[in-house]
Amino acid sequence: MIEKHIVLDDIDLLTFYGVNNIHLQMIKALYPKLRIVARGNMIKVLGDELEMCSFEENIEKMRAHCSKFNSLNEETILNIVKGGTPGAEKGDSTAICYTVTGKPIVARSENQQKLVDAYQQNDMLFATGPAGSGKTYVSIALAVRALKNKEIRKIVLSRPAVEAGEKLGFLPGDMREKIDPYLQPLYDALQDMIPAQKLTEYMEQSVIQIAPLAFMRGRTLNDAVVILDEAQNTTTQQIKMFLTRMGQNTKMIITGDMTQIDLPRSERSGLKEAMLILKDVNGISFVEMSEKDIVRHRLVTRIVNAYDAYEKKQKEEALLKNEELKTKNEETIK
C-alpha cells in the first residue's frame, strides 16, 4: 500500500467537490479499494498502487475539465473514470474560455476575431471602438485563458480614475472602497468567467490585480497579461508611463472609446497620441471596432448611430456657420 497527496490548483473547490461533497462521495464510491480524504485543496489517498495510478490520472482529467469549463457533474466524472471523453471536451473549438455556467465565450464579430488573432501574433495591441463592442470583455477572456493555461502568472487590470461627466465628491471608506466604483466593470467581466470563491482567492494572492492607473508607476510587470481599459481618458504622460511598465513574457492590451473622452477640454487624450506615435512600431497591433460589433441590446447600436449622426450634423452646421461668418466679414471689409 502506498500513500499520495494530490494538490488541486486553479479550480473552484465547491465546483469540484460538489454541493455537500456529492462529487467527492461519487469518486470515493468509484474507487472502493482506496481510502480518500479531502482537506481543502489537498486530497490524501491511501491504497493499492495500480488503483492509485488510475485515480491520479483521472483526478487530473477532472481538475483540467473543471478549470477549463468551470463545471463538473456526475456524468462527466463517470465518463472520465470509465475512460471516455466528457461531452463538453468536444465543445466549441472557437471558445476563448468559458463562463462560470459553462457557456463558451467566443468572438461574436469579425473585428472581435481580429482582436483574438492579434493577441496571438503581438505582445501589445490597441483595441478601440464604441460602447458594447466587446473590446474589454474579449480582452479579459484572453487574459483568463492565458492564466488557466499557465502561460502567465498574473493578470493586471487598470483604469484611469476619471469621473464620467459628474462630480462624485468625497467617497467614504479605505483606498480600495474609494476606487472600486471606477473599476466595477472589470469585476463584472471577471465574475462572469471565474467562480466567486476562486476569484476572491486569486485577488487575495495578487494573482489578479485591479488598480487605478496611478498605482502602476514604478512597477515592472513580468509574466502577465496587462489590460488598460478606458485609455481614452489617459493623459500623454500617463499612457507613456503605463506602456513602459512592460516586462518579460508580458502582453499588453489597451482599450478605449474615442467618442467618450471625459478629460478636461484642455487635456489631450493620451490614447490618440500614443496610437499616432506607435502606428509604425513592429510588434504592436491596432484593432478598430465599429457599431457592427456591438453585442449588447439592439438599442445600443441604434443609440450609438443616432449620436454619431447628431454629432456629424452639428459639425456640418458649425462649419456652415463659420463659412457664412467668414463671408460676411469679407463683405464688411470690402
What pLDDT does residue 231 have? 92
Which comes out higher in pLDDT, residue 295 or 125?
A: 125
What pLDDT does residue 332 have? 72
Same domain assignment for residues 155 and 233? yes
Q: What is the CATH number of the domain that holds 6?
A: 3.30.1370.10
Q: Which of 191-195, 244-248, 299-303 has the lowest mean pLDDT?
A: 299-303
Same domain assignment for residues 172 and 75? no
Q: How confident is the model at residue 328 (pLDDT cuts 50, 70, 90)?
A: confident
Same domain assignment for residues 137 and 276? yes
Same domain assignment for residues 245 and 311? no
d(C-alpha 124, C-alpha 227), whole Å = 10
Q: Which of 11-20, 61-70, 84-93 has the lowest mean pLDDT?
A: 84-93
pLDDT digits (tens, 9 = 90+) for 145-166: 999 999 999 999 998 876 544 4
Can you tell me the mean pLDDT for 297-312?
77
Can you tell me the mean pLDDT for 299-311?
78
Q: Is 274 exposed, middle or buried (0-12, 13-18, 19+ CB in 10 A)?
A: buried
Same domain assignment for residues 188 and 325? no
Contact assessment for residue 310 and residue 317, using Cβ atoms and an 8 Å cutoff: no
Q: Could you say which DSSP state residue 281 is in?
A: -
Question: Measuring CA to CA, how many Å separate 106 from each of 29, 96, 109?
Answer: 37, 6, 9
Can you tell me the mean pLDDT for 267-296?
89
Question: Measuring CA to CA, how many Å separate 16 from each of 31, 40, 44, 164, 280?
Answer: 17, 11, 15, 41, 48
Can you tell me the mean pLDDT for 281-292?
90
What pLDDT does residue 263 have? 83
Same domain assignment for residues 253 and 289? yes
Q: What is the CATH number of the domain that holds 285?
A: 3.40.50.300
What pLDDT does residue 165 have? 47
The continuous run of DSSP H or E covering 252 comes out as strand 250-256
Same domain assignment for residues 104 and 131? yes
Parent domain of 86 = 2-90
What pLDDT does residue 174 have? 59
Contact assessment for residue 232 and residue 256, using Cβ atoms and an 8 Å cutoff: yes
pLDDT digits (tens, 9 = 90+) for 163-191: 544 444 555 665 566 667 777 888 899 99
Same domain assignment for residues 290 and 301? no
The grid coordinates of residue 171 equal 467617497
The closest of 203, 205, 185 to 195, measured between CA atoms, is: 203
d(C-alpha 231, C-alpha 252), whole Å = 12
Is the pLDDT at 314 greater than 50, yes or no?
yes
Is the pLDDT at 131 greater than 50, yes or no?
yes
Same domain assignment for residues 159 and 269? yes
Of 65, 90, 115, which residue sits at a domain end? Answer: 90
Same domain assignment for residues 232 and 262? yes
What pLDDT does residue 181 have? 72
Contact assessment for residue 121 and residue 232, using Cβ atoms and an 8 Å cutoff: no
Can you tell me the mean pLDDT for 197-222?
89
Runs of H (alpha helix) within 170-250: 175-193, 196-204, 236-243
What pLDDT does residue 51 have? 87
d(C-alpha 229, C-alpha 101), whole Å = 25
The closest of 116, 117, 88 to 103, measured between CA atoms, is: 88
Question: How many domains does one find in the chain?
Answer: 3
Is the pLDDT at 42 greater than 80, yes or no?
yes
User: Of all residues in the chain, what percent carry a pLDDT higher than 90?
Assistant: 51
Count of CA atoms in the C-beta half-sphere (13 A) of 317: 6
pLDDT digits (tens, 9 = 90+) for 75-130: 999 999 988 666 555 556 789 999 998 899 999 889 999 999 999 999 999 999 98
Q: How confident is the model at residue 193 (pLDDT cuts 50, 70, 90)?
A: very high
Q: Could you say which DSSP state residue 165 is in?
A: S
Question: Measuring CA to CA, how many Å separate 76 from each of 15, 181, 213?
Answer: 13, 39, 43
d(C-alpha 71, C-alpha 60), whole Å = 14
Same domain assignment for residues 254 and 321? no
Same domain assignment for residues 275 and 286? yes
d(C-alpha 255, C-alpha 135), whole Å = 7
d(C-alpha 93, C-alpha 97), whole Å = 10
Residue 116 three-state SS: helix
Q: Is 110 exposed, middle or buried (0-12, 13-18, 19+ CB in 10 A)?
A: exposed
Residues in the chain: 334
